[in-house]
Structure 1
Amino acid sequence: MKINVRKIIPYSEKNISYFNQKRPKMLVLWLGTLFACITIKMHLFVCVYCKKCIYSVKEGWLKMGLNSFVAQEARPLPIFVLADVSGSMSGAKIKELNIALRDMISALNNVNDIRGKFQLCVISFGGDVANIVQPLTDVAKVSLTELEANGETPMGSAFTQVAEMIENREIVSSRAYAPTIVLISDGMPTDFRGGQDYSNWAPLAMLHSGPRSSKCQRLAMGIGDDADMAMLKAFVKNDQIPVIKSNGAKGIASFFRWVTMSTVARATSVAPNNVSVVAPISLMDEEEITI
């Protein structure tokens, strides 16, 4: 095997005499080191001035040290709240909903020893379309604005919005646990015209069939006698999770406490992706809610 030394080391008058004296030993050293480096798929450079070998891996220098190790960020557990803010939610209902959301954020911020961290997104549906009033972010950074009630109940728009967000890996990290979707409403979707057969409704089918959105935990509550319980049951689509009905506005706070405890229970379990894990129903005020 013939080696062109001038291609390996820089040419200079200063190092020629040194090389002539040390040629046999250096050739053996180079060949042995080169063989070892090829074996571990590295490139070798030899610096004759400092008599040290400098290794590089592909495009960059191989640097090892304590500073090379970075703590991995906690895995997020996203929570999406789909909030009905139609005109029928005005008064005590929207007031209790705002209070319940703030209480949930406060409670989640004070949870310790969980397998990750909580993130929150709030999507309101009222008027003509759904709106993202709180983009998905860590609960510690949430600054929630007050929800106001007006207009119709475009629930389908909210389903489409949340499904698209969950499938977008730039919004919901690939490392995230299965999200929780919380739906609260006191009426029927005004963007659906199929009676009470929701099995083929495109927005709901999109939510149930998405590669990622289909794996979410879904929790729901209807408020008052006008709430479409058939719609809420079609949304949850899990026999192991009850659909909650509130007799009035006061049940909203009880429901969100249950949502908070259910989310915490999942985050502290050995299997946070088990979406059937919920808190006991007995923790809610039985005078305000029915199942």
Structure 2
Amino acid sequence: MPVLVLADVSGSMAEAGKIDVLNRCVASMIRSFAGEDTIRGEIVVGVVTFGGVEATLHQPIAPAAEVVWQDMTPFGRTPLGQAFDLANVLLADESVISRRAFLPTLVLVSDGLPTDEWREPLDRLLASPRGGKAVRLAVGVGQDMDEDAFDVLRAFIDNPAIQPVRADDAHLLSRYFSWVTMSVTQRARSTRPNDIAHISNDELDDLLG
């Protein structure tokens, strides 16, 4: 079961401890996944970062139990479009993600508007077999996130039944990642991991209320 995090590491993520909290959240999630191997397979995790002038595969997709987490460092701008294209390449590569893998979970974390062209890369991701069928979740971090920035997150999710979550304070990220961890592990334990349960917006709001 693949989990791919798209993490904003632009310079603004250095403010108010946002990157420090995000690093702790991702590391904790990976540790939890490492203990969740089942008879049906294992949870594999990758992290794509976008900051500066490009997107980077910060953590190659690998079984969670094998990941040695290295903290992300913020700098530069917000090239989200490049992150979408890199995610698309990774999802399509059967040497990275097995053809028999369950539907992936994509988690986008950002604190502002993209600084590159992102609509066409997102269209390509959503039109791809795995990207289009993936469970796509998103969280906006910090009080500077305006409606235009949240519109980008909504376009990524592309599902009116699921809304992006607002984490005005960085420490609320830990609650959101705890929920993501629980959702993925419940699917991993299920006898039908590709059956995606409806996600209640009220449930998500309660996390950060």
Q: TM-score, normalized by length of structure 2?
A: 0.90
The offset of 1:283, in angstroms, is 6.3
Counterpart residue type for residue 144 of structure 1: W
Cα deviation 1:238-269 (Å, max 9, x = unaligned): 12323101011111111111110111122223
For 1:170 and 1:86, locate their aligned partners in 2 and report how far apart those are by CA, in whole Å.
Answer: 30
Q: 1:154 aligns with which of 61, 65, 79?
A: 79
Cα deviation 1:219-252 (Å, max 9, x = unaligned): 1000123331000000001123231010111111
Aligned CA distance change for structure 1 residues 239 and 270 (closer, same or farther; 3 Å):
farther
Alignment of 1:50-65 (within 5 A): none
Counterpart residue type for residue 79 of structure 1: V
Counterpart residue type for residue 119 of structure 1: V
The corresponding residue for 1:84 is 8
1:233 matched to 2:154: yes
Counterpart residue type for residue 98 of structure 1: N
Partner SS state of residue 180, structure 2: helix
Give the CA RMSD over aligned residues: 1.8
1:141 matched to 2:62: no
Structure 1, 167-176 or 271-280: larger mean CA deviation:
271-280
The corresponding residue for 2:204 is 281
Counterpart residue type for residue 281 of structure 1: L
The corresponding residue for 2:51 is 126
Aligned CA distance change for structure 1 residues 176 and 112 (closer, same or farther; 3 Å):
closer
Aligned CA distance change for structure 1 residues 277 and 78 (closer, same or farther; 3 Å):
farther
Q: 2:124 aligns with which of 167, 188, 206?
A: 206
User: Which runs of no fewer than 5 residues in structure 2 stay unpaired?
Assistant: none
For 2:50 and 2:66, locate their aligned partners in 1 and report how far apart those are by CA, in whole Å.
Answer: 23
The corresponding residue for 2:171 is 250
Aligned-pair identity (%): 37
Cα deviation 1:84-105 (Å, max 9, x = unaligned): 0000000400000011011111
For 2:3 and 2:24, locate their aligned partners in 1 and report how far apart those are by CA, in whole Å.
Answer: 17
Which 4+ stretches in 1 moved above 6 angstroms? none
Aligned CA distance change for structure 1 residues 283 and 118 (closer, same or farther; 3 Å):
farther
Cα deviation 1:138-179 (Å, max 9, x = unaligned): 000001111011100000000000011101111110010011
The corresponding residue for 1:219 is 137
Cα deviation 1:24-49 (Å, max 9, x = unaligned): xxxxxxxxxxxxxxxxxxxxxxxxxx
1:170 matched to 2:95: yes
1:263 matched to 2:184: yes
Contact between 2:36 and 2:188, CA under 8 Å: does it hold in 1? no
For 2:88 and 2:182, locate their aligned partners in 1 and report how far apart those are by CA, in whole Å.
Answer: 24
Contact between 1:262 and 1:278, CA under 8 Å: does it hold in 2? no
Contact between 1:109 and 1:140, CA under 8 Å: does it hold in 2? yes
Q: 1:102 aligns with which of 10, 21, 27?
A: 27
Q: TM-score, normalized by length of structure 1?
A: 0.66
Counterpart residue type for residue 218 of structure 1: R
Aligned CA distance change for structure 1 residues 250 and 155 (closer, same or farther; 3 Å):
same
For 1:277 and 1:265, locate their aligned partners in 2 and report how far apart those are by CA, in whole Å.
Answer: 13
Aligned CA distance change for structure 1 residues 171 and 243 (closer, same or farther; 3 Å):
same
For 1:116 and 1:203, locate their aligned partners in 2 and report how far apart those are by CA, in whole Å.
Answer: 31
User: Which runs of no fewer than 5 residues in structure 1 stay unpaired?
Assistant: 1-76, 193-197, 287-291
Bigger Rg, structure 1 or 2: 1
The corresponding residue for 1:41 is none
Partner SS state of residue 129, structure 2: coil
